Structure 1
Amino acid sequence: MPTTNLNISVIDKRMLKQSEAASYAGLPVRHFKATCPVRPVELKQGMQLWDRRDLDLWIDDVKSGAVTETRDTILGRL
């Protein structure tokens, strides 16, 4: 019986669209927009992308209790 090897290379994207970044953080887009302090990067004119590493740092800060945002700081980003 012949055997076949399948080599698949998967590259994780570092830069995420807003919907992908929200999903990565486990949040609906609307909630992500209102609460995420991570600023997007504009690699191409008009295209905003979120860096996965920055999102990881934010999530780690939230987990450790380092992020204590007030309603005013959240509204200020809107």
Structure 2
Amino acid sequence: MATTNLNISVTNKRMLKRSEAASYTGLAVKHFQMACPVRPVELKQGSLLWDRHDLDLWIDDVKSGSVTDTRESILDRL
């Protein structure tokens, strides 16, 4: 019986497109847009990307209960 070796290298991207960021957080894109306070970065003109590290910090804040939405913060995201 012949054997074959397969070497696979997987690199996690740090910067995510909107749909990828939504999927990463477990939210639908529509809900992600409304709920996520993390501001995207425009590394290339016309291309908005979300930093995975910033998303992690936001999720950690939500888990710890330190995120409290004010009327102003909600309106800023709209």
TM-score norm. by structure 1 comes to 0.91
- Give unmatched runs, 5+ long, in structure 2: none
Give the letter aligned to residue 6 of structure 1.
L
Distance 1:71 1:59 in 2: 20
Aligned to 2:68: 68
TM-score norm. by structure 2 comes to 0.91
Calculate percent identity across the aligned residue pairs. 77
Spell out structure 1 runs of 4+ moving beyond 2 A. Answer: none
- Give unmatched runs, 5+ long, in structure 1: none
Give the letter aligned to residue 15 of structure 2.
M
Computed over aligned residues only, the root mean square deviation of the Cα atoms, in angstroms, reads 1.1
Q: String of CA shifts for 1:31-58, please: whole Å, max 9, x gaps.
A: 1111111010111000000000100000
- Equivalent pairs counted in the alignment come to 78
CA contact (8 A) 1:17 1:50 kept: yes
